Structure 1
């Protein structure tokens, strides 16, 4: 067990150290960095769209209009809160929970 933990730590630490060394050379305004940021944003947008439009499990019990309203509340809070991701996600989750509680079982 201890050997497995040490091996896993060593394998991850190599990549973390390499990332630290290579990141010193990156410029935030470079074209590569802008591309990576756009791809990451597109992946998050796709994930949110999938969760809202075709949810599974208990999340699927919420009607589409409520899921869309919760996303709208989250986006508004994100914009009003100086682009705070935590605030946007928190408000969106609170809106969905409140809406489900209001609708009842």
Structure 2
């Protein structure tokens, strides 16, 4: 089989699906048996939240790629603006907070000429 054109992408998609789908099904099966108020689930939520916070902190303080050229004050400002929009967003909190942070960062990059 030749890996020209679209075939590498199809291979990556199938391999990625096979590698992760078993864990999704295991989570669904195990999730039915876990009490929502259990200490185990509270611990899992805390770890998941800590991992997301760590990734965001890494993107802010040690950026790579396109973010590397943006100043720290702009990255911090976009997070604060996104959080503010999230908290006043009502029903559309998540999409509004994400879109606001991205828009703030893009506008700041455009205004500073970066």
Q: Bin the TM-score by the shorter chain.
A: 0.7 to 0.9
Matched, 1:96 2:86: no
Output the TM-score relative to the length of structure 1. 0.80
Range 46-55 or range 16-25, more displaced: 16-25
**Can you list the C-alpha shifts for 1:9-54, whole angstroms capped at 9, x where unaligned?**
4x75544433322211112211111111111111111111110011
Gaps of 5+ in 2: 2-10
Gaps of 5+ in 1: none
For residues 67 and 12 of structure 1, the distance between their equivalents in structure 2, rounded to whole angstroms, comes to 32
Output the TM-score relative to the length of structure 2. 0.74
Q: Once superposed, what is the RMSD of the aligned Cα atoms?
A: 2.4
Alignment match, 2:46: 38
Shift of 1:57: 1.6
